[in-house]
Amino acid sequence: MKRWPWITALVLAVLFIPVLVKQLLPSERRPLERVELADTEHIEIAFENRTQDLAMGGLLFVPEGDGPFPAAVVIHGSGTSRRDNGWYLTLTKHLQDNGIVVLLPDKRGSEQSEGDWRTSSFEDLAIDTLAAIDYLRAQQDVPLSGIGIIGMSQGGWIAPLVARQADLAFLVSMVGSVVTPREQLLYEENYNLREVGFLPGISNVLAYVGSANVRYLAQPELYELIVDYDPLPHWRDVSIDSFVLLGADDTNVPSVESARRLVGLENPHIRVKMYEGSGHALESPRGQGNSIIRSDALDEISGFIRNAAAD
């Protein structure tokens, strides 16, 4: 009697029965509260990346009062940026309400900014941020006490690059990774497979297939530019007050490993904080509200910026 049909059936059962069971289980999505663009006071601005001859757009959020104010330039996460993104706006409005100017640029290739992020390296996107910083320094309508940057998600890879090239008062990295994009992609794909229902071990192996699909089929031009980028040498050289916020339950960024690598640098300028019960958005832990960004993280970011800009 041939055994291979039974072996094949057993392998398929191990692979797919947990997946089927997972799909049959009810899933719960928690609606998270966020700020809408219509709820904000902002000014539409335009500036130029002269190094690469790109016209850039964005929104400027100015607090009430006479100033001078600390100011922050936001560095976007992955993908196309939208001005109505509630994650960014929730942070932006909190900072504005707490006396901090925020420049939320349109990422290149998005809204009113020229270029294409799909064919741009992190070094290219850092140049866009430097152009936004130059815009703030050159404008004379709003008095500023110090300028810094906030890297959001993928922007956390870019933030230390910018810090090495600009005279800044502070750096904030919000759920930014400190591993390479190659490592992060594997981590994220492994989690996605686990969510579908694949068992540990099997998901680890299949993650290589999923990550290869993203690298070589979905976004080959982009990943050729960034896949082996290592942010750690740039973090090692950071010499300004820096605050890195990570979510303990992050399924996009390997937060524990990122924290370990940063702490291992023993750089006295870098403060790392892990937020228990929060994922990649740093959302409120269950049972403690439904904000897309937890209130204690927002308060710590604004307090950190005010203190750093006052030094």
Categorize the per-residue pLDDT at 9 as very low, low, confident or very high, splitting at 50, 70 and 90: very low
Average pLDDT over residues 62-83: 95
User: What confidence score (pLDDT) does residue 216 get?
Assistant: 75
User: What confidence score (pLDDT) does residue 218 get?
Assistant: 72
End-to-end alpha-carbon separation of the chain, Å?
80
User: What confidence score (pLDDT) does residue 13 get?
Assistant: 47
pLDDT surpassing 50 at residue 10: no
pLDDT surpassing 90 at residue 249: yes
pLDDT surpassing 50 at residue 80: yes
Average pLDDT over residues 268-293: 96
Q: pLDDT over 90 for what percent of the chain?
A: 74
Write out the E strands in the chain.
43-49, 54-61, 69-75, 101-105, 144-152, 171-174, 242-247, 270-275
Average pLDDT over residues 26-40: 85
Average pLDDT over residues 277-303: 96
Beta-carbon contacts of 244 under 8 Å, excluding residues fewer than 6 positions away, are: 156, 172, 173, 176, 178, 258, 259, 262, 270, 271, 272, 273
Tokens of 195: 């969510």
User: What confidence score (pLDDT) does residue 193 get?
Assistant: 72
User: What confidence score (pLDDT) does residue 188 get?
Assistant: 86
User: What confidence score (pLDDT) does residue 8 get?
Assistant: 47
User: What confidence score (pLDDT) does residue 220 get?
Assistant: 80
Residue type, 162: V
Tokens of 8: 């094949």
Distance CA 14, CA 198 (A): 9
87, 74 Cβ separation under 8 angstroms: no
Categorize the per-residue pLDDT at 6 as very low, low, confident or very high, splitting at 50, 70 and 90: very low
Categorize the per-residue pLDDT at 151 as very low, low, confident or very high, splitting at 50, 70 and 90: very high
Structure-model confidence comparison of residues 311 and 110, the more confident one: 110
Residue 194: alpha-carbon gap to chain centroid: 22
Task: For 129, list phi and psi in degrees, rounded to 5.
Answer: -65, -40
- pLDDT tens for each residue of 219-233: 788 888 889 999 999
Question: What stretch of H or E contains 265?
Answer: helix 255-265
Start-end ranges of CATH 3.40.50.1820 in the chain?
35-177+241-310
User: What confidence score (pLDDT) does residue 12 get?
Assistant: 44
Average pLDDT over residues 190-209: 70
In terms of average pLDDT, the best of 4-8, 107-111, 206-210, 215-219 is 107-111
pLDDT surpassing 50 at residue 11: no
Write out the E strands in 169-293.
171-174, 242-247, 270-275
Minimal CA–CA distance to 47: which of 129, 132, 125? 132
Sheet holding 69-75, edge to edge: 43-49, 54-61, 101-105, 69-75, 144-152, 171-174, 242-247, 270-275
Average pLDDT over residues 271-294: 96
- Token pair 């904030």: residue: 172
Lowest mean pLDDT among 104-118, 219-233, 254-268: 219-233
Residue type, 67: G
> What is the total residue count of the chain?
311
What CATH code would you report for 35-177+241-310? 3.40.50.1820
Minimal CA–CA distance to 83: which of 61, 55, 52? 61
User: What confidence score (pLDDT) does residue 48 get?
Assistant: 97
